[in-house]
Amino acid sequence: MTQPSNIPLTPAPVPAPERAAPAPPRAAAPADPAAAVPAIPGPGGEPAPGGAGTAAGSAPVRADPAIPRPAAPAVPVPRTLQVVPTISLRVPAVWEGEIERPAPPRLSLPGGGLTVLHVAQPTDGGVARVVTDLIRAQAADGLRPVLLCPPDGPLAARAEEAGAEVHPWPAGRNPGPGLLLETARLARAVRELRPGVVHLHSSKAGLAGRLAVRGRVPTVFQPHAWSFEATDGRAAARALRWERRAAAQWTDRVLCVSEAERRRGEEAGIEAEWAVVPNGIDLDRHRSADAIERNRLRAALRSVHPFPDGLSPRNRLVVCVARLCHQKGQDVLLDAWPDVAARVPGARLALVGDGPEARRLRDRAPEGVVFAGRADDPWPWYAAADLLVQPSRWEGMALAPLEAMACGRAVVLSDVDGARESLPAGLAGPCLVPPEDPAALAGAITALLGDSARRRSVGGRARGHVRQAHDIRRTAAEITALYHRLSHPAAASPTAP
């Protein structure tokens, strides 16, 4: 049959490595793998992103205690990007439902760095920031991070700047008629790149990636919130049925960002080998600002995003940094805002982000709400704000609250998976509200905006907690320990000679 046209990849040139010892036999694929493919939504309308994995007031709990928690390493000088040759990514031969077997994995480069293939779809929002920060830390730590992702969106350029070899993987956000071709291209990429570990980010990459790899290379799936929470009815049932089958057969670890996310999967009947590593952030890029810098940032933001009623140092500024989609709950915040504005004169609200719900949210927004669009760097908004609000309907562990707290900002969050674990002990009362409850949300926002001393106290405690427990270097070190445990099981076993 005629093969589709080639797609270029650009892996780093390396000397021919020694062949790794053959892996132990793995479970056979089901007789009809196509029957397992669900029509699940992608993250963000859909599940999406994206600490210390501890419930407020409790000790840390880990689902995979064999993974050590090393101290945060010093940050070495980042690697220089390499100019690399082009290889082909043709569609592999497919017969009798089976995809061409990949070559044996290349566990490491001659210098000892493990080759990690990240596959990501979506390419924006919290998932993209998680992947970029993880790649930056892994490259600085001597690993060889490689990324396959769609060429559109900001992820590809940011990941390359962070130190990854980036190769285009044309793939839609949601499963559709192109899934077979997307899966075949991914299988060819795995065969050509020969990674030691494959790390799949979010539901779409998790679907295509596990169909392509089928357990032949150690595989980590990170849901960044569960796909079956993004829908209902038959679609949710099919998504859950797929996760149950794929987790049992083709996933070496399901990597969750909170204990709540892991429990959600277990309660849904997913039987898997679990690991919990909370989200981390780049602390150097998320610092606090003093009053002078804060006022300067407000003036700069006001010049780019005119606030209809002005934005002075006396105004109370509330920001929501998130993709504009059903999951993130900006509609709930807009419903709560008239009550806040009536009780806190001079309060301002800015929604920072873009997405499929942008037009609908603009149509229902009260007068004076600013839609700032997508921000490549949200730090100026965090530093200029008085309060960050994240009214999500579901999460794994949201990234924006961690970033805002690292800047010393108080937060108000809906009490969904990961929210309690992202907060320091004792702050659930002022910072958490039930999801989809505009009245409770308005009350929590008003209480913090109206009490400057309490707001500053909450922000200070939150900053200390995040800087201690959510450093991306610690997160990356734990995930690297997991990679080595999967790619060298004999060395990781306590009974190994």
Q: What is the 3-state secondary structure (H, E, C) of 178-244?
A: CHHHHHHHHHHHHHHHCCCEEEEEHHHHHHHHHHHHCCCCCEEEECCCCHHHCCCHHHHHHHHHHHH
Average pLDDT score over residue span 10-29:
46
pLDDT of residue 337: 98
Instruction: Work out the pLDDT band at 71, boundaries 50, 70, 90.
Output: low
- By CB atoms closer than 10 A (0-12, 13-18, 19+), residue 71 is exposed
Cβ distance 256 to 47 under 8 Å? no
Instruction: Work out the pLDDT band at 492, boundaries 50, 70, 90.
Output: low
Q: What percent of the chain has pLDDT over 90?
A: 64
Q: In this structure, what are the phi and psi dihedrals at residue 228, rounded to the nearest 5 degrees?
A: -70, -10
Instruction: Work out the pLDDT band at 419, boundaries 50, 70, 90.
Output: very high
Half-sphere exposure for 12 (CA within 13 Å, toward CB): 25
Q: Report how far apart, in Å, the C-alpha atoms of 333 and of each of 318, 329, 381, 396 are.
A: 11, 7, 17, 20
Instruction: Work out the pLDDT band at 171, boundaries 50, 70, 90.
Output: confident
Tokens of 261: 């996310």
281 secondary structure, DSSP code: B
Instruction: Pick the closest to residue 148 from 45, 48, 10, 280 (CA basis).
Output: 10
pLDDT of residue 490: 62
98 has a pLDDT exceeding 90 = no
Residues in the chain: 497
pLDDT of residue 33: 40
Q: What percent of the chain has pLDDT over 70?
A: 76
Instruction: Work out the pLDDT band at 386, boundaries 50, 70, 90.
Output: very high
Average pLDDT score over residue span 145-162:
94
pLDDT of residue 370: 96
pLDDT of residue 138: 95
Find all residues with CB under 8 Å of 303, minimum gap 6, and list them. Answer: none
Q: What whole-number distance in Å separates Cα of residue 87 and Cα of residue 310?
A: 54
